[in-house]
Amino acid sequence: MFSRRISLLLFLLAVFNRHAIGRSSNFDIIIFTQRWPATICHLWQENSPWHQCALPSDINEWTIHGIWPSQYHKIGPLFCNPSLPFSISALKPIEGQLKEKWIDIEYGRDSYSLWQHEWEKHGTCAAVLEPMSTEIKYFQKGVSLLKQYDMKNVLSQANIVPGNSYAVTDILNAIQEVLGKRGMVVCRKDKSSGQSYIMEVRVCLNKALELIDCDDAYEYPTNCNTYESVVYPSRSDYYSVQQT
């Protein structure tokens, strides 16, 4: 009987600790994540072939996924402050920019689901820093970071352009060469072909929002298979996939 009570107590403590960690605003670094829309659309349509994605007007524009406060070698903290609910009205002054730069690619330009998800999951943790202390500041900072570290410009400076395949190490080296800091590359595989596509690029910041190496970030430097090439699809590649 006593051992059962101890086991129950340990179980409840573990649940409490997981909950507390999830709600904690303590973090070590900030990960700024950009998405490549052509890849997102291609993979999305594997499950929803009839679906039309929302794409930026600039054919080679990367879009924002999020700004993620993170602990070293871990995911999170997450959902830090439920007292900061998402409000679409707070974003009205910059809504036009967000519909171009922070698009909900899968669910459409007029969907706010991505913004709400990113604010509640990550923004409420970032809010402990003054430059992101409110909802609109958080999203404005995302737009500002995209201008500063736009992968369209970073990769093109290293002659890495859409419509080709590259070794993942070449992409990682290009980020380091242009920005002077080590970043991260995230890939996804096409289920039918087995081909890997570049999906996201991540750069890391300290709490002063200064660029730093991503060495201690979770999944650094990549989840891609470094022994095979990864496709960096062009928008025309996306359209050709749509028509097949």
What pLDDT shows up at residue 242? Answer: 42
The structure tokens listed for 197 are 């596509």
Contact 35, 105 (CB under 8 A): yes
pLDDT for residue 70 = 98
CB 23 within 8 A of CB 77: yes
Instruction: Find out whether 64 and 56 touch, Cβ atoms under 8 Å.
Output: no
Task: State pTM to two decimals.
Answer: 0.86
Would you call 139 exposed, middle or buried from its count of C-beta atoms within 10 A (0-12, 13-18, 19+)? buried
Phi and psi at residue 84, to the nearest 5° = -115, 75
pLDDT of 236: 63
pLDDT, residue 243, reads 37
With beta carbons less than 8 A apart as the criterion, state whether 202 and 31 touch. Answer: yes
From the list 174, 146, 145, 147, the residue with the least C-alpha distance to 232 is 174
- State the pLDDT at residue 24: 55
Per-residue pLDDT of the chain (244 residues; tens, 9 = 90+): 444 444 444 343 333 333 434 445 699 999 999 999 999 988 887 666 666 788 888 878 999 999 999 999 999 999 999 999 999 999 999 999 999 999 998 888 888 999 999 999 999 999 999 999 999 999 999 999 999 999 999 999 999 999 999 999 999 999 999 999 999 999 999 988 899 999 999 999 999 999 999 999 999 999 999 999 999 999 766 544 443 3
CB burial of 157-174 (b: ≥16 within 10 Å; e: otherwise) equals ebebebeeebebeebbeb
